[in-house]
Each structure stands twice: as C-alpha cells, then as structure tokens.
Amino acid sequence: MTASKQLIIDIHAHPTFTDFMQEGHAPPKPWPANKKLDVVADPSKMGIAMHLTSKQYKGQQPKMFSVKEFKEHLNETHNMINFLCPLTKGQSAKESNEKAAKLIKQFGGKAIGFAGFDPSGKDPVGDIEYAVYELGFKGLKIIPSLLGLDINDKLFYPCYEKIQELGVPITIHTGAGLIMGCRINHVRPILIDDVAFDFPGLKIIAAHMGCWDYMDVHSLLLRHANVYSDLSAWPLDPVYVDLLPWKVFEQTVSDKLMLGSDYPAAQTPQEALEVVDSLPISEEFKRKIKGENAAKLLGIK
C-alpha cells in the first residue's frame, strides 16, 4: 500500500454464490402480507426473506454483480472486501464454508472471509478450527436470529471461547428487522454485553451499529475495549443516516467504527463509500471508518 493511496476496506459484504442471488435468477414471487415467513423453521425461504428485506428497507431488489463485474467494481474503489458467510439453522458449516472459500479465492488478495458456524451442529468448535486453519478464513460471522438463539445463549460459549483462543474477530448481527422472517429479540445488541464481559479477549464486531438500537451499541463501544461496530446497511442508508449522532461518535468512539455495505442486501460497496464521504465529520474520522480501523483490527499493513 503506497502512502498516497487511501485504504478502503468494506468489512461487511456477502458472497453471491447462493442460488437465489445467482445472476439471471428472477426475484421470488411476492409474499402475502398475512402469511407467516419463518426462515429458521424453513431456511429454503431465505431467498424470499432477503428480497423482501431489500424491498422493505431499500425500496429495491438486491443489486447483483457477476464475479467479473464485482472485481471491476472493487478495482475502481476498494483495496479489500470481507465476505461474511453466516449459516441458517441446520446448514452444513463445512460445505458452506468450503464453497465460500472457493469464491473468495477468485478475488485474490482483494478479498478475505469470515466463516459461518452453528453451535447446534455436531462439532461446531471443529468447524471453526477447520475454517480458520484449513480454509484460511480470517474471522467468524453469526446471525443468531437465523439459528433461533440469543446472542448470549450459553450454547455459543464454547465457540466464543475457541474464537477468542484463535485471536480472530467475530461479527455478530445486531439490530432490528434487517432480515425478514426471523425474530428481532435474538439479536438485541445489548446481549453482547454478557459476551464481551465473559470473553474480554474476544474481538467482537456488532454488525449494523445495532440499527435502531445504535445508542446501545455506542454504550458497548465505550464500555468494552474488545467491542467494535460496522456501519453496514441501516446506518449508511440515506433514509436513516441523518438520525445518527455522528459528531458524538467522532468524539467518543472514532477508533471503533468501520465501513460496511451489506452487499447485496443493502448497498453496493461504492454506494456505502459515497455515504461515508458525505458524512458531517472530519476527514480523519472518514479515513478511520473507510479502512484504517478495520486494518488495525485485522492486522493488515
């Protein structure tokens, strides 16, 4: 990295190999408003949930690039992207992570990944070790609401302990209904307080700044040296971005916030970057958000 080139790291994006996101696939048929959508009970409905989420919160279908198009998009704007690969309940961690690892390799040094795991699986600690040691993942990602568990459920604790031992970060989904078809209560950001307290060496990234509970995440960032947050989806959505007290964040937690797009469910990486550039904050804070904070957390030089 040359001194003249600004470091841009999107810490929160998702790979595009999943069937419902493949190029050329039509969006799912409209879901009846009075019909229950439960992606924990029926993970096959995840495609419907993702399209419905994007429609409800963004007023658009998820934006999709082919791998070639995505590489070109990143070459124009970003130095690196982090693909998060969480699981739905009952999904095979080994199979899912192996598939994701193959896609990440197509991006060369432009991409890293955080693997998924299910604490209800046969050997979740083994899945974590395999993902980090054998597949080369740089961290882990969970969406507890897709697993039907609270963030601080004791079933996660052996996994948290192993991740802490490995010294890699974990991104934990936090905040309201950014995924339709699952329960908000499982991912209230304040539940991270227990995890951060019990595992002080575990590097935790609270995804989405907790959405509407953003001040709870702010409290966690102040209380715990091991808690960080990404700004993916809700905080950088042009509809909601002005609700957040950016000057307060700059004065109190400027070393804790990181750029994220949540692609393809929310924004493209370029769109998220443009919103950061428009924030009423200093250029120094923008540089920290766009890449410097993530580089320090991930050990990227």
Give the lowest-confidence range in 66-70, 169-173, 238-242.
66-70
In the structure encoding, which two tokens stand for residue 124, read together? 């979740």
- Max mean pLDDT among 233-237, 238-242, 251-255 falls in 251-255
Backbone angles phi, psi at 142, to 5 degrees: -135, 145
Q: In the structure encoding, which two tokens stand for residue 122, read together?
A: 């046969």
Domain ranges across the chain: 10-17+39-298
How many CB atoms are closer than 10 A to CB 170?
24
Give the pLDDT score at 109. Answer: 87
Q: How many CB atoms lie within 10 A of CB 132?
A: 21
Give the model confidence (pLDDT) of 199-213 as tens digits: 999 999 999 999 999
Poorest-pLDDT segment among 212-226, 238-252, 261-275: 261-275
| DSSP bridge pairs for 139 | 114
* Mean pLDDT to the nearest integer, 125-134: 98
* Across 35-54, average pLDDT: 83
* Strand order from edge to edge, sheet including 9-13: 9-13, 80-84, 111-116, 139-142, 170-173, 204-207, 227-230, 257-258
- 240 with 39: CB under 8 angstroms? no
Q: What CA–CA distance (Å, rounded) separates 246 from 234?
A: 14
| C-alpha 173, offset from chain centre | 7
Residue reference for tokens 């890449």 = 291
> For all residues of the chain together, what is the average pLDDT?
90
Return the pLDDT at 16: 63
Give the homologous superfamily in CATH for domain 10-17+39-298.
Answer: Metal-dependent hydrolases (3.20.20.140)
Of residues 25 and 244, the one with the higher pLDDT is 244
